[in-house]
Structure 1
Amino acid sequence: MAESVMRVLYGKGTSLNLSSKKINKVPECVSRLTNLSALLLNNNCITALPAELLSLQHLAELNLGNNALKEFPAVLGHLESLKKLYLFSNQITVVPPEVIGGLQNLVVLNLNHNRIQRLPPEIKSLRRLQHLSVLDNKLEEVPAELGHLTKLSEINLTSNHLSQLPQQLYQCKELTKLYVARNKLNSLPEGIGTLTKLKVLDVAGNKLSMFPVEFHLLPLNELYCEGNMLVRCEPMTSVQDEEVFSLKELVARFVLREDRNRSSLIHRMLPHYPILTALLASGSCCAICHGPFLTIWLECVHFISLRKV
Structure 2
Amino acid sequence: MFVPCHQKLVSAFLLLYCLHLSAFDFLWPCPQKCICRQDTLEVNCSSKHLTVVPEGLHISARRLNLSGNRLKTLIRRQFYGLTQLEELDLSGNIISMIEVEAFQGLKYLRILKIKNNRLKIIPVGVFSGLSSLLSLDISKNEILVFLDYTFQEMVNLRELNAGENDLVFISQRAFVGLQSLQELNVDHSNLTSIPTDAFSQLQSLSKLRLRRLNINVLPNYAFRRLHQLRTLQILQWPSLETLNSNSLVNLNITSLVISNCNLSAIPYASLRHLTHLIYLDLSYNPITSIESNKLGELLRLQEFHLVGGKLLRIEPGAFRCLAHFKLLNVSSNRLTTLEESAFHAVGNLQILRLDRNPLTCDCRLLWVMRRRFRLNFDGRQPTCSAHERGRRREFRDFSEAEFSKVFICRQAGILERKLQDVMVDEGTNVQFECKVDGYPQPSITWLSPQQTPFSSVGRIRVHANGTLEVRYAQVQDTGTYLCIASNAAGNDNISASLHVRSSSRNYTPPNFFDESLVETSLPPSTNSSAQLSSPFPFDAKTIVIATTMGFLSFLSSVVICFVFMFLWSQSKGQIKHTATIDFVPRSSMGGGGEGGDTGRFTMKLI
Tell me the TM-score normalized by structure 2: 0.39
**Structure 1 286/188 Cα, relative in aligned 2: closer, same or farther at 3 Å?**
closer
- Contact 2:209 2:232 survives alignment (8 Å): yes
Residue 277 of structure 2 is aligned to residue 152 of structure 1: yes
Q: What amino acid does structure 1 have at the position aligned with 2:150?
A: V
Structure 2 counterpart of 1:134, from 255, 258, 276: 258
- Quick one: structure 1 residues 148 and 60, their matched pair in 2 at CA, closer, same or farther if it must change by over 3 Å? same
Structure 2: where are the runs of 5+ without partners? 1-89, 91-97, 107-126, 364-402, 407-412, 435-480, 496-606
Shift of 1:50: 2.1
How far is 1:159 from its partner?
0.6
SS at 2:295's partner residue?
helix
The answer to whether the 8 A contact 2:202-2:226 is kept is: yes
SS at match of 1:201: strand
| Whole-Å separation in 2 of the counterparts to 1:208 and 1:11 | 54
Secondary structure of 1:123 counterpart: coil
Query: 1:171 aligns to what?
Result: 297
Give me the whole-angstrom Cα distance separating, in 2, the residues matched to 1:11 and 1:209.
58
What code does the residue aligned with 1:200 have? L
User: Structure 1's 218 and 169: CA in aligned 2 closer, same or farther, altered over 3 A?
Assistant: farther
1:221-300 equivalence runs, <5 A? 221-233=350-362, 235-237=403-405, 249=417, 252=418, 270=421, 272=423, 278=432, 283-284=483-484, 294=494
**Cα deviation 1:63-92 (Å, max 9, x = unaligned):** 112333333224345235132211113333
Preserved contact between residue 220 and residue 248 of structure 2 (Cα < 8 Å): no
Which residue of structure 1 lines up, in the alignment, with residue 24 of structure 2? none
Deviates more, 1:150-159 or 1:24-33: 24-33
- Name structure 1 gaps, 5 residues minimum: 239-244, 257-269, 296-309
Note the C-alpha offset of 1:174: 1.8
Check the 8 A contact 1:128/1:151 in 2, yes or no. yes
Q: 1:185 aligns with which of 304, 308, 311?
A: 311
Identity of paired residues, percent? Answer: 18
Once the two structures are superposed, the pairs formed by residues 56-75 of structure 1 within 5 Å of their partners are 56=177, 58=179, 59-75=181-197
Q: Residue 92 of structure 1 aligns to a residue in which SS?
A: coil
Q: Name whichever of 102-111 and 31-40 sits farther off.
A: 31-40
Matches within 5 A, 1:26-175: 26=145, 28=147, 30-33=150-153, 35=155, 36-56=157-177, 58=179, 59-79=181-201, 81=203, 82-115=205-238, 116-145=240-269, 146-165=271-290, 167-175=293-301
SS state at 1:62 partner: strand
1:17 correspondence with 2:133: no
Whether the aligned pair in 2 keeps the contact of 1:205 and 1:227 (CA below 8 Å) is: yes
Q: Which residue of 2 aligns with 1:207?
A: 334
Q: Quick check: 1:199–1:221 contact (8 Å CA) kept in 2?
A: yes
- The 3-state SS of whatever aligns with 2:235 is coil
Q: What do you get for the CA RMSD once the two structures are aligned?
A: 3.9
**2:173 and 2:201 in contact (8 A); partners too:** no
CA distance in 2, matches of 1:292, 1:20: 63
If the length of structure 1 is used for normalisation, what is the TM-score?
Answer: 0.70
Hey, what's the Cα distance between the residues in 1 that align with 2:176 and 2:492? Answer: 72
From the superposition, tell whether residues 272 and 131 of structure 1 become closer, same or farther in structure 2 (CA, over 3 Å): same
The 8 Å contact of residues 308 and 332 in structure 2, kept in 1 or not, is answered as yes
Residue 113 of structure 1 deviates from its aligned partner by 1.1
Say if 1:203 and 1:80 are closer, same or farther in 2 by CA, change over 3 A: same
The whole-number CA distance in structure 1 between the counterparts of 2:416 and 2:309 is 45
Match of 1:263 in 2: none
Q: How many angstroms apart in 2 are the aligned matches of 1:75 and 1:88?
A: 19
Q: State the distance in 2 between where 1:246 and 1:17 align.
A: 70
The aligned amino acid for 2:272 is G
> Partner of 1:65: helix, strand, or coil?
coil
Whichever residue aligns with residue 432 of structure 2, its letter is: A
1:62 deviation in Å? 1.5
**How many angstroms apart in 1 are the aligned matches of 2:430 and 2:321?**
45
CA gap 1:117/1:56 in 2 versus in 1, 3 angstroms: farther
Superposition deviation, residue 161 in structure 1: 1.5
Q: From the two aligned structures, give the one with the greater helix fraction.
A: 1
Q: How far did residue 177 of structure 1 move?
A: 1.8
Tell me the alpha carbon deviations over residues 39-67 of structure 1, each in whole angstroms, 9 at most, x when there is no partner: 22123332321223252462432211233
Distance 2:103 2:348 in 1: 48
Structure with more strand by fraction: 2
Shift of 1:277: 9.5
